[in-house]
Structure 1
Amino acid sequence: MPKEIGQKMIAQNKKARHDYLIEDTVEAGLVLMGTEVKSLREGRASLVDGFAEIDNHGEAWLLQVHIPQYLNGTWTNHETRRRRKLLLHKREIAKLEQRVETKGMSLIPLALYFKDGRAKVELALARGKKSYDKRHAIAERQATRDAEREVGRRLKGL
């Protein structure tokens, strides 16, 4: 069987970019069970309520990510929202832990994908937005859209 090459997107957390101010991103591997991998290969997962944390032993964990049970699985099937260990270097974990503790940030999963046949998750070091920040971002996006529309009309001669 030929080795997989490239990147295949499984799930994205589009709401995270709306709810959080993203400062930095990190790619991490995942420790998965066999039925989880098969379920992910079918393209089924949800990152909406997910987050990551670093425990007292210096290990990073991904929590509340929903990977549905594999339909053809047997008694070896997995729990849908179990804790999954993240594969990161010690220095990466230490750096993330320090930034999360000192600056009051969160680790939020942005995307789940296969990269060269291995399951990866893109984590964001993020700070929660206030409601007025969200309104400001929407107004700014609308203003740039209106400006681009007007430039397009001028170029067409309307």
Structure 2
Amino acid sequence: MARPKGNVGIKVKTVAENRRARFEYFIEHVVEAGIALAGSEVKALRTGQGSIAEAYAEVKDGQVWLVNCNIPVFANANHFNHEPKRPRRLLLHEREIGKMGGAVQRQGMTLIPLSIYFNDRGRAKVELALGKGKQLHDKRETMKDRDWKRDQARIMRDRG
């Protein structure tokens, strides 16, 4: 039976996470995408290396590309190594690509990678989100809410 669209699968091993993304953007829709990698890139990711802190995705010619994602060179791959910051193709259905491309063009949204992980079948996946940028006052409100929830938990814990 096929997995419902738009849901993120089971994460077995998270390699890289973009923790700032939820602070910088209002996340609207999250989707799981496959990623086309070279062999040395997969081996580097399996060792836990990789960064998506400055990465973003863009739609070009009917395909989605992950840009500025850093997967460092795998030392044991010798001369079969890859370029660390090359654009990588994300594997999505045409309907998903159309929906995301339309949201980016019409509504001014951004495609943000939230995490790179290996699923239960051992495949590298990217958690890709459609997000709208937050203004400074929105970020302040987010910080205020986060601090209040932390204080609330501390008060509840102390009262026992």
TM-score of the aligned structures, taking structure 2 as reference length: 0.88
Partner of 2:6: none
SS of the residue corresponding to residue 74 of structure 1 reads: helix
Report the secondary structure of 2:77's partner residue: coil
* Post-superposition offset of 1:34: 0.7
Does 1:91 pair with 2:95? yes
| Per-residue deviation, 1:131 | 1.5
Counterpart of 1:63 in structure 2: which amino acid?
V
Within 5 Å, give how 1:51-130 maps onto structure 2. 51-55=56-60, 57-115=61-119, 116-130=121-135
The 1:49–1:147 alpha-carbon spacing in structure 2 relative to 1, beyond 3 Å, is same
Distance 1:33 1:152 in 2: 49
Q: Count matched residues.
A: 150
Q: SS of 2:79's equivalent? A: coil
Residues of 2 paired with 1:147 and 1:38: CA distance? 43
Percent identity reads 47
Structure 1 or 2, whichever has the larger Rg, is 1
Is there any run of 5+ residues in structure 1 with no aligned partner, and where? none
- Given the alignment of the two structures, is residue 15 of structure 1 paired with residue 20 of structure 2, yes or no? yes
1:141 aligned partner: 146
Rounded to whole Å, the distance in 2 between the matches of 1:101 and 1:140 is: 31
Q: 1:104 is aligned with what amino acid?
A: G
The amino acid that maps onto 1:65 is C
- Structure 2 portions without partners, runs of 5+: 1-9
TM-score where L is the length of structure 1: 0.89
